[in-house]
Chains A and B, each alone.
Chain A
Amino acid sequence: MTASLLTLADSRLPAGGHAHSGGVEQAVAAGLVRDPASLAAFLLRRLQTAGAVAAGLAAAATTLSSSGRHRGQVPSPVAPSPTSPSSEEPPAPSSSGLVAALLALDAEADARTPSPALRAASRQQGRGLVRVGRRAWPSPPWDALPAAPHHPVALGVAAAAGGLTPRDAAAAAAYLSVSGPATAAQRLLAMDPLTVAAVTARLAPEIDAVADAAVREGLPADTDPLLDLLAEVHVVRKGRFFAS
């Protein structure tokens, strides 16, 4: 591990994550999150669905943009094209190959994010991360990304640019899937910060398990229709505090 991972998972990284509650604001409005126990349950279901998918996408994006360093560590989420070489250790994708591979990964993210509100939130945060990541860790793979990629795809590229492994990227994605929403709940419900910190810290074994599965089993598709519904109800609501 390098200190890049700490920077990447730090809520002070100005990538725009503070504007999003990961569905917590609407869950609070719907009475689903109201105390530490219900917050812990909400974070766990988010971690094991949206968080698991984000971890898988981030790990795959790191593998793709790591110039072959971590090839083979993560099962390829994208079926190889019939023209690609079938050797055990394929060469790092050329620039146009990387563009196509990241675009295909971004399309897999779209397919796993049918909610327009969640797609917009993810792309907004992806764009924010590209902006800061380019400055923090200059690296050619940034140029291979679409303009507003899904956040986990951008996160995976950032991890590669910072010299991190696919497992690191997966851990950051899994952690970020709960850390931002936990802080949002603390602010919305005026909860005790120590209690919320403890709720997040106790999820560490589950976060590690999600990150391990992301590099071991490839790209999952776990979804929680409740999060989709909350996001769509939230996005048309007046007077909301968070963007999502």
Chain B
Amino acid sequence: MITRVEVVARRGPGGRTVLPVVRSCGQLAVRRTGPSTVHLVATAFGPLGGDDAEIRLVVEEGATLAVRTVAAAIALPDRAGDRPSAQRVVAEVAGELDLRPEPTVVTARADHRASVTATLAPGAVLTATEQVLLGRTGEEPGRWTGTTRVVVGGRPLLHTTVGLGPGAPAWLPPVAPRAWASTVHVGQAAGVRTAEDAVRLPLENGWVATAWGAELHTVVRAVEAVA
């Protein structure tokens, strides 16, 4: 199934954020839940292998947009073959974007490809989080690939691809975690911080924090502790 979401946030009268464009089709609906907050609501099971979702977010200068989801996404395998499911977030930010979806659970035999591509104007503020759990309770881990590319003022700031699950390049014992969390922030600088299975790395005017481990709740706590 093809899913397309588009939200444009604009600075309106009195500095309030208005949303002149809120569009969706496919498996996600958009609900405005606050002055500058939208929730993405899944309207079907999935994503399933073969599904393709693109979420386009535009935050114009002076506007603020927070994007949430109402529940964890459960990535399921292709029913017919072995096609991956894909979700791309494409963001153009001149204002402030806060993107914090609920976790993605990748079930056994599922292959989910996620990407966040953020193009920022100088002075834009971005916070984007990602939380991944491979397999439901007692289930074999699925496969997840996540790519993050952040460009600020035309210059690449961060471009990384993390592969998790059986067959992923850097997912080999003894470090083959079931749970993974990451936060990238642009807007305020921070230095290196390390912990057990967690690290924060500085970016120009920002940082990226990553944590991994066996349980999602401990990993989320770990990434928040170094962030």
Contact = CB atoms under 8 A, between A and B. Distances in A.
A111 B158 contact: yes
A48 B202 CA distance: 24
B192 A223 contact: no
27 contacts: A41-B172, A44-B169, A44-B172, A45-B169, A45-B170, A48-B169, A52-B169, A108-B159, A110-B156, A111-B150, A111-B157, A111-B158, A111-B159, A115-B201, A116-B192, A221-B149, A221-B159, A222-B162, A222-B169, A222-B170, A223-B161, A224-B169, A226-B175, A228-B201, A232-B192, A232-B199, A233-B194
Interface in B142-157: 147, 149-150, 155-157
Nearest to A37: B173
A222 B163 contact: yes
A41 B174 CA distance: 9
Interface residues of A, number: 27
User: Chain A interface secondary structure, helix, strand, loop or mixed?
Assistant: helix
Interface in A206-244: 220-226, 228-229, 232-233
Contacts of B198: 229
A32 interface: yes
A32 B160 contact: no
A32 B174 contact: yes
A223 B212 CA distance: 14
Interface string B14-41: 0000000000000000000000000000
B169 A49 contact: yes
A163 to B, nearest CB: 30
A114 B163 contact: no
B201 A32 contact: no
Interface in A147-176: none
B173 A41 contact: yes
Contact of A114 (B155, B158, B173): B158
Contacts of B208: 114
B161 A222 contact: yes
Nearest to A222: B161
